[in-house]
């Protein structure tokens, strides 16, 4: 009689290999996340949870060679606690509140099941069935939490974790049903259900690490893009980010530009230090951020020079009033008493952005020449 195909799939060998691989990857992820300054809240508990679950999985594969307390009870607690930590970490990554009560309850339940049905009143059918259903429930919660991620930079990694969590939950559910029907007596017996369960668990652990790596890399790529298009001191768009936003608009779209420049900024730096100068720049940036909307952007072009860009026809008078309010508000609230600003206004179109920028700069120059602390408009401005 020919042996069944899964008889060649040794659950113990597969489980040990997959769990050690997942543990090593999780450890590397923990070290990498720490080296990157622990940017993402929730990444550390999630990665540690995968490491803990991998250790428990390996102990479970070795339970026949170890004392029951270590090979069974410790293995079960490590696996369930690890999955609970991954769930809690995923909620943190999503910005959701972590509920430690239910997670701790699941860990205590796994400990009670392992002790009662594994040590005091051994019953493999109840032990495997209940623990499989508990792991399936945690995996379903994890899949649901990860799937709802809306941030583009984190979505790919979260969706991978959600899909693997769903597959793992289904197989654990089937394993629980098989145990209830008396089809499973040990975890390492070469059967189709055991082989599939071990393979699914091991690949889910490895896939979970890969998912977290995608989350971390997505966050780093978003950070690089942020640094490429935004000014690090103020958080406003920089010149490149502004040009990218303008280029995404229709060339025929009317545009109003307001060039803003701090008066005598070099003297502030020379007399009071660059720290005070940075405070003045950040204060002006906070005031400029109030104009930010779908059709209006503020940017720092460099040094003490800023620009406000408003799209749409008839925006000239509105932007001039806004610049006048900005000038007065800045003079009243600047960190350095006596600090003022000047502004120049110009009208044009998106297709003539650079020419309009030069007109606004010329108007700004006239404001400086006229005594500073004022707003001047180009001849084409309304």
Q: Which residues are catalytic?
A: 304
**Closest of 124, 141, 101, 248 to residue 187, by C-alpha:** 124
Quote the DSSP letter at residue 84.
H
> Could you tell me the end-to-end alpha-carbon distance of the chain, in angstroms, rounded to an integer?
94
Q: What angle do CA 139, 143, 149 make, to 5 degrees?
A: 150
User: 118: which residues sit within 8 A by CB, 6+ positions away?
Assistant: 68, 72, 73, 76, 127
Report the number of secondary-structure helices (H) and strands (E) in the chain.
13, 5
Q: For residue 53, give both structure tokens.
A: 């679950």
Q: Are 293 and 283 within 8 A, CB to CB? A: no
Choose among 370, 372, 362, 305: nearest CA to 338: 372
Contact in structure between 201 and 16 (CB atoms under 8 Å): no
CB 90 within 8 A of CB 159: no
Strand partners, 307: 259, 299
Collapse the DSSP code of 248 into the 3-class scheme (helix H, G, I; strand E, B; otherwise coil) and give the result. coil
How open is the CA angle 120-123-128, to the nearest 5 degrees? Answer: 115
Tokens of 77: 């607690």
Q: What are the helix (H) ranges across 237-352?
A: 239-247, 265-272, 274-288, 316-333
Could you give the CA distance from residue 2 to residue 137 in angstroms, rounded to a whole number?
37
């Amino acid at each position: 009689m020919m042996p069944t195909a899964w008889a060649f799939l040794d659950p113990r060998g597969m489980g040990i290999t997959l769990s050690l691989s997942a543990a090593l990857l999780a450890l590397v992820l923990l070290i990498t996340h720490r080296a990157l300054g622990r940017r993402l809240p929730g990444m550390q508990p999630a990665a540690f949870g995968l490491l803990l679950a991998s250790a428990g999985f390996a102990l479970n594969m070795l339970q026949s060679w170890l004392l029951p307390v270590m090979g069974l009870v410790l293995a079960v607690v490590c696996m369930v606690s690890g999955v609970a930590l991954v769930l809690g970490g995923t909620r943190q990554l999503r910005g959701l509140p972590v509920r430690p009560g239910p997670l701790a309850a699941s860990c205590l339940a796994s400990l009670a099941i392992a002790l009662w049905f594994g040590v005091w009143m051994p019953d493999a059918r109840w032990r495997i069935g209940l623990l499989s259903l508990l792991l399936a429930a945690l995996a379903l919660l994890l899949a649901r939490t990860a799937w709802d991620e809306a941030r583009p930079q984190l979505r790919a990694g979260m969706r991978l974790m959600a899909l693997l969590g769903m597959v793992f939950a289904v197989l654990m559910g089937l394993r629980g049903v098989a145990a209830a029907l008396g089809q499973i007596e040990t975890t390492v017996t070469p059967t189709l259900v055991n082989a599939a369960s071990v393979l699914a668990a091991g690949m889910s652990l490895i896939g979970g690490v890969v998912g977290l790596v995608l989350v971390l890399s997505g966050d780093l790529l978003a950070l690089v893009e942020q640094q490429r298009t935004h000014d690090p001191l103020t958080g406003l768009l920089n010149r490149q980010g502004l040009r990218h936003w303008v280029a995404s608009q229709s060339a025929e779209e009317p545009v109003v530009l307001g060039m803003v420049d701090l008066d005598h900024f070099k003297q502030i730096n020379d007399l009071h230090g660059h720290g005070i100068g940075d405070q003045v720049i950040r204060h002006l940036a906070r005031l400029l951020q109030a104009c930010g909307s779908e059709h209006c952007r503020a940017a720092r072009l460099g040094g003490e020079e800023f620009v406000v860009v408003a799209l749409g026809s008839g925006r000239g008078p509105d932007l001039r009033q806004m610049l006048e309010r900005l000038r007065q508000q800045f003079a009243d609230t600047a960190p350095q008493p006596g600090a003022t600003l000047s502004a120049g206004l110009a009208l044009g179109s998106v297709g003539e952005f650079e020419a309009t920028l030069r007109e606004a700069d010329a108007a700004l120059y006239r404001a400086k020449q006229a005594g500073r602390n004022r707003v001047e408009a180009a001849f084409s401005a309304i």
